[in-house]
Chain A
Amino acid sequence: MTTTEQTGAELPLEQCDRVVIRFAGDSGDGMQITGNQFTHTSAVFGNDLATLPDFPAEIRAPAGTRAGVSGFQLQFSSRDIHTPGDEPDVLVAMNPAALIVNYKDLRSGGTIIANTGAFTAAELRKASLDTNPLEDGTLAGYRVIQVDINKRVQETLADSPLKSKDIQRCKNFYTLGLMYWLYSRPVETTLNWLDEKFAKRPEVADANKKALQAGYNAGDIQELFQSRYAVPPCGALPAGTYRNIMGNQAVALGLAAGAELAGLKLFLGSYPITPATTILEELAALKNFGVKTFQAEDEIAGICTALGASYAGYLGATTTSGPGLALKTEAMGLAVITELPLVIVNVQRGGPSTGLPTKVEQADLLQSVCGRNSEAPLPVLACATAADSFDCAVEACRIAIEYMTPVILLSDNFIANGSQPWKLPRVDDLPKFPVTFRKDPVDFLPYSRNEKGARPWVIPGTKDLVHRIGGLEKDETGNISITPENHEIMTRIRQDKIIGIRDSIPTPAVDGPESGDLLVLGWGSTKGPINGAVERVQEAGQSVSQMHLRHIWPFPKGLDEIFGRFKAVMIPEMNMGQLTRLLRSEYPQHNFISYPKVQGQPFRATEIATKIKELLEN
């Protein structure tokens, strides 16, 4: 490495449409913070973006090992994008393990920025490497930029009052500074964030700020790169005010908003479980909105406290992931038979059992639609993107309240922790669905029905309306009835009520030609990769259409007619074909082609595009 001084301004500035960066390091290297800061700065700068954090199941796997590698990928763009990108253009590798685990994902000819300070014999051993990949030809075909970040940070902070170990913890901000320089990003957003984050520890804020600035300056004064890059703000984003949001954050805000739109207060009963926990954390911080959060002793108590709160006149909600949903099953049945509003959020992860707790899968669909004892139908919705999660949560609240029913809202680990710009809705534009509790004792029957099939919501404390509800079958009077005729009547009433929800939901739009050879149908977080794939195929001149389901149970009206306009319907799913099964049973006359993926990773747009082309050509 030379120390020849040269100003960055003399380097050519290359304009790019989009760039995909992956930051990778040890779990303790602060890669999630680095990625989030780059994301935030790019969002405020005006790029469209999408992110994919990827961290191990262990909080701190043994340092330096392949198991301990934590990654954060983001795509930022001057155009409308849908995914965090298939192949990174740039890989930042903070240690040998991070390099070896990630370099194969890079596009050919891509750039690797390697922290040579971590490529010591000991670190190579920890990563189970016999030779140094920076020297043994492993990285042939990639452009490798070598920077001894350990040493640079030590030099930069030689005068810092921090201990040597704490100085090394500033490495990620040095790296971030370097990347800000390379992609012509402003440093101010992060400088301000550091001041705020470490307000009580100014020496830590100072050290990280210095490291950030030093990394930025290193780009200027050291001949590390042949050019700098600029990704101009995205012109495709519709006008409006934006904030960057993660899926779990959007669900939390959507639940709080949903309660407000109903004129209620929100009660969240929940037990911590990855990757749903941050919804509980977000809502616990919204006490000034009157939100009550109850960290329960287990998943069952989570849903039961929420159901109790709904009974008492709050909007009850509970949040979980697949294994937790399994534990809540019996209480969901109780919510079905007592016909109380309840929102159950399932942030899906890989399974079965504990499975892949920090990876993505969409394999709880059949569990959600069918997974309860006896006939216990309830509506199921799915969030498509981080920003869409807000609208979906509001919609789940609406259905729960208008139809007096538990609702399952499916999210997944991809969108829960992934972020994107969210165009803020105007409060006046949000749907309102105010609740009227029943207070009139005249002709009161606890299980009478309104035009939607919903029973009256009477909260304890209401005079002259005392009655009992419970898990035993009831008749209209609320009294126990186990006659054969009554059970069949009540079973049909509960089913018809749920099927009737389709009267209140729109038929999803077809994107692309209204008819043709192939419709690509998605649900949940496959939306981004499907969008990307379909656009590519369309740009290549082939005809393909796309449709996405938000409401999965009941299916919206009009699907039969839409499917009839296409020769085949292809369904990419991160499971073994669960939506495909449901559709085949509901619409057996159509040709559904399942395209499953169960690797704990989201689809790449290229994978889907290749499959589409293959289907179109056969």
Chain B
Amino acid sequence: MSTETVLKKKDFKSDQEVRWCPGCGDYGIINSVQGALADLGATKENTVFVSGIGCSSRFPYYMDTYGFHSIHGRAPAIASGIKAANPDLTVWIVTGDGDGLSIGGNHMAHILRRNLDINILLFNNQIYGLTKGQYSPTSPTGLRTKTSPMGSVDRPFDPIGFALGCNATFVARTIDTHMKHMGGVLKAAAAHKGTSFVEIFQNCVIFNDGCFDETAAKDVRDERTLDLRPGEPLVYGKELDKGVRVDGWDPHIVAAGEAATWDPAGASSAPAFLMSQLDQDPAMPTPIGIFQAVEGPIYEEALEAQIDEAVERKGAGTLESLIWSGETWTVD
């Protein structure tokens, strides 16, 4: 393999015309994913992108890898079948807040708990884009859309809290316009053994423009976000002068020097949950980066181990032994 030409970012672009709206956050994401694949030394043939339905789910058509554009919400199930059948493949799922948390919420929950070695990118724009602007399961209560002319009365999901609740082994968040940060998170997700869940704040220029501006816009994001970096202090601000510390159950804003050190690999998910709800206090920054990164048994490895064990115990089955077994008798 070492003699193979190392692929560049552009090698992962397919020959298909990209048809997202001009200015869509998806462009930044695909660019970052293609860059990450090149940096990771991925091959086209061993990489599979699986998607459901929605704007984000057109992603596989634009990648020069194997791709399966499936049906609404079911990408985690299709991808689980692919990975369980052939663990040698590198499988990515691209989904959105509607596809992944509404119609496909059940599959999302179960892939996360099973912990197949698959990378999930959930583009969260808090709106249904492809059906032209209805509120989604992550839209804030009160959002006025065509199906909620007086404001949505639904309470939203927090994707990070959802993933943590499903016992996900890797949970992270990044921002479509923050290329450097996104590249780092994508590579960490790819390196993680087990299901990696990455929420990406993604702007929909047409139906929900600016929905993350208060935290993710370039001019405010240093002050309004807190990057969770394993082993690093919880500091933020343009000058990295502010920090977060937790006393008892309560987080406080402190001087950088007094900030707590972030450990996403602890035995308890409680700190990650706490971080996922940090910005419920409007004074607090919104955490991005790596919320959780723990080891766990890998589904497809356990499945293959059982097959190996069964073969060892009973011998490899043959057609003959399949049919000619059980209690038999002969009629002459």
Q: Say yes or no for B84: interface residue by CB 8 A criterion.
A: yes
Question: Does A495 belong to the interface (CB within 8 Å)?
Answer: no
Chain A residues near B86 (CB-CB < 8 A): 312-314, 459-461
| Bound Cα distance from A333 to B70, whole angstroms | 10
Whether B89 lies near A296 (C-beta < 8 A) is no
- The residue from A240, A307, A464 contacting B330, defined by CB atoms under 8 A apart: A240
Count of chain B residues with Cβ under 8 Å from any Cβ of A? 63
Contact B78 A288 (CB under 8 A): no
Q: Classify the secondary structure of B's interface with A.
A: mixed
Minimal beta-carbon separation of A233 from chain B (angstroms): 8
A355 at the A/B interface (Cβ < 8 Å)? no
With contact pairs A256-B322, A305-B78, A460-B82 given, residues A466 and B64 touching in the complex (Cβ less than 8 Å): yes
Give complex CA distance A480, B319 in Å.
Answer: 41
B173 within 8 A of partner (CB): no
Contact with B along A304-318 (1 / 0, CB 8 A): 111111111110100
Q: Which residue of B lies closest to A422 (CB)?
A: B323
Known contacts A309-B85, A463-B45, A470-B68; is-contact A46 B331 (Cβ 8 Å): yes
- Does A6 sit at the interface, judged by CB under 8 A? no
Instruction: Confirm or deny: B310 has a beta carbon within 8 angstroms of a beta carbon on chain A.
Output: yes
Is the CB–CB distance between A312 and B81 below 8 Å? yes
B66 within 8 A of A: yes
Given A287-B307, A462-B45, the answer on whether A309 and B82 have CB atoms closer than 8 Å is yes
Bound form: Cα–Cα A256–B48 in Å: 27
Interface status of A345 (Cβ within 8 A of chain B): no
Name the residue on A nearest B80 (C-beta): A305
B81 lies within 8 A of A311 (CB): yes
Encode contact with B along A217-243: 1 for CB under 8 Å, 0 otherwise: 000000000000000011001111111
Cα separation A269 to B82 with both chains bound (whole Å): 11
| Shortest CB distance A589–B (Å) | 40
- Given contacts A243-B327, A301-B110, A470-B68, A288 and B81 within 8 Å (CB-CB): no
Q: Does the CB pair B329–A313 fall under 8 Å?
A: no
Minimum distance in angstroms from B269 CB to a CB of chain A = 21
Question: Contact between B85 and A331 (Cβ–Cβ < 8 Å)?
Answer: no
Shortest C-beta distance, A32 to chain B (Å), equals 18
B35 within 8 A of A: no
Q: Closest residue to B44 on the A side, CB-wise?
A: A466
Residue B280, interface by CB 8 Å: no
Which listed residue (A241, A242, A308, A468) contacts B85, Cβ 8 A?
A: A308
CB of B88 within 8 Å of the partner chain: yes
Interfacial chain A residues near B331, Cβ < 8 Å = 46, 233-234, 237-242
* CB neighbors of A among B69-110 (8 A): 69-72, 74, 76-86, 88-89, 106-107, 109-110
A261: nearest residue on chain B (CB-CB)?
B319
User: Which of A461-478 touch B at CB < 8 Å?
Assistant: 461-472
A424 engages B80 (CB within 8 Å): no
| B313 (CB) vs chain A CBs: closest residue | A288
0/1 string, B51-69, CB within 8 A of A gives 1: 0010000001101111111
Known contacts A242-B329, A257-B319, A462-B45; is-contact A300 B66 (Cβ 8 Å): no
How many Å from the CB of B325 to the closest CB on chain A?
Answer: 8
Residue B220 interfacial (CB < 8 Å) = no
Q: Is the CB of A294 within 8 A of B320?
A: no
Count of inter-chain pairs, beta carbons less than 8 A: 208
Q: B277 near A: Cβ within 8 Å?
A: no
B residues near A424, Cβ cutoff 8 Å: 323-324, 328
The residue on A at minimum CB distance from B312 is A288
The interface residues of chain B lying within 8 Å CB-to-CB of A564 are none
Q: Please tell me if A160 contacts chain B, counting CB pairs below 8 Å.
A: no
Is the CB of B46 closer than 8 A to any CB of chain A?
yes
Chain A: which residue is nearest B48 at the CB level? A460
Q: How far is the CB of B90 from chain A (nearest CB, A)?
A: 10
Q: Is A253 an interface residue, CB under 8 A from the partner?
A: yes
Shortest distance between the CB of A441 and any CB in chain B (Å):
11
CA of A240 to CA of B323, assembled, Å: 13
A331–B71 touching, CB < 8 Å: yes
**Shortest distance between the CB of B30 and any CB in chain A (Å):** 14
Closest to A459 in B: B86
Asked if B332 lies at the interface with its beta carbon under 8 angstroms from chain A, I say: yes
Is A202 on the interface with B (CB-CB < 8 A)? no
Across the two chains, which residue of chain B brings its CB closest to A314?
B85
B85 and A292 within 8 A (CB): yes
Q: Are B327 and A40 in contact (CB under 8 A)?
A: yes
Q: Are B306 and A309 in contact (CB under 8 A)?
A: no
**Contact of A43 with B by CB under 8 A:** yes
For A44, the chain B residues whose CB sits under 8 A away are 327, 329
Q: Which of B14, B69, B82, B330 sits near A312, CB closer than 8 Å? A: B82
Q: How far is the CB of A394 from chain B (nearest CB, A)?
A: 11
The answer to whether A298 and B79 touch across the interface, beta carbons within 8 angstroms, is no
Chain B 279-321 against A: per-residue CB contact (8 Å), 1 yes, 0 no?
0000000000000000000000001001101110111111110
Alpha-carbon distance between A257 and B319 when the two chains are bound, in angstroms? 6
Asked whether A306 lies within 8 Å of B81 as measured between CB atoms, the reply is yes
Q: Which of A303-338 contact B (CB under 8 A)?
A: 304-314, 316, 330-331, 333-334, 338
- Taking the complex as formed, is A427 at the interface, i.e. its CB lies under 8 A from any CB of chain B? yes
B248 close to A (CB within 8 Å) = no
Is A267 close to B, CB under 8 A? yes
Are the CB atoms of A464 and B328 closer together than 8 Å? no
- Determine whether A425 belongs to the interface, using a CB cutoff of 8 Å to chain B: yes
B85 touches A312 (CB 8 A): yes
Query: Known: A257-B322, A313-B85. Is A460-B45 also a contact (CB below 8 A)?
Result: yes
Q: List 8 A-B contacts (CB under 8 A).
A: A287-B307, A288-B307, A292-B303, A292-B307, A304-B70, A305-B80, A466-B65, A468-B14
Name 14 extra pairs, CB < 8 A, besides A46-B329, A308-B81, A427-B323: A243-B327, A243-B328, A244-B326, A244-B327, A261-B319, A288-B307, A288-B313, A288-B316, A297-B107, A308-B68, A308-B79, A309-B82, A479-B61, A480-B61
What are the nearest 6 A-B pairs in CB distance?
A308-B81, A470-B69, A304-B77, A289-B317, A305-B81, A287-B310
